[in-house]
């Protein structure tokens, strides 16, 4: 009987941790960032950055901004470009993120944010 209750509790926790929204507010940067496909620009480098975004209390509280524009700006400066094009963002919960959420009963639940794009001159 206890085994069935345990499975029920775990299944309920899985169902409760499935709804999150990423709200991204952009801050001004010195470089241009384009989230479009630009075929005229010749990329000098491709970048991929992984960031952990923290959520607390079933995702109701997010302590800070992911600062996507700052990360992209750092990549532009690192490669000596003038702007970033073909920028893509992927926001997901990995297996490890989900496991941490289950262990903490979704009091803390990290998510993975992957930012990639091309730096051009």
What is the domain-level CATH number for residue 68? 3.30.110
Q: What digits encode the pLDDT tens for the residues 7-66?
A: 888 777 776 665 555 555 555 566 666 666 666 777 888 999 999 888 888 777 777 777
Give the C-alpha distances (Å, rounded to integers) separating 10 from 37, 43, 62, 95. Answer: 43, 47, 24, 15
Please give the span between the terminal C-alpha atoms of the chain, in angstroms, as a whole number: 66
Q: What digits encode the pLDDT tens for the residues 80-104?
A: 888 888 888 888 888 888 889 889 9
Q: Residue 105's pLDDT is what?
A: 86
Q: What digits encode the pLDDT tens for the residues 34-43?
A: 666 666 777 8
Q: Residue 21's pLDDT is what?
A: 55
**Considering its fold, how many domains does the chain have in total?**
1
CA-CA-CA-CA torsion for 94, 92, 16, 97, nearest 10 degrees? 30
pTM of the model: 0.67
Q: Residue 49's pLDDT is what?
A: 92
Find the domain containing 107 and state its range.
Answer: 2-120
């Amino acid at each position: 009987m206890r085994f069935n209750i345990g499975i029920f509790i775990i299944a309920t926790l899985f169902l409760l941790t499935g709804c999150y929204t990423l709200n991204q507010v952009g801050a001004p940067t010195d470089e241009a960032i384009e989230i479009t496909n630009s075929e005229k620009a010749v990329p000098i480098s491709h970048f991929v950055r992984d960031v952990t975004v923290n959520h607390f209390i079933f995702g109701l509280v997010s302590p800070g901004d992911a600062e996507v524009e700052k990360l992209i700006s750092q990549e532009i400066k690192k490669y000596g470009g003038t702007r970033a094009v073909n920028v893509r963002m992927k926001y997901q919960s990995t297996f490890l993120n989900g496991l941490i959420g289950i262990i903490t009963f979704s009091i803390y639940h990290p998510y993975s944010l992957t930012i990639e794009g091309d730096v051009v001159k």
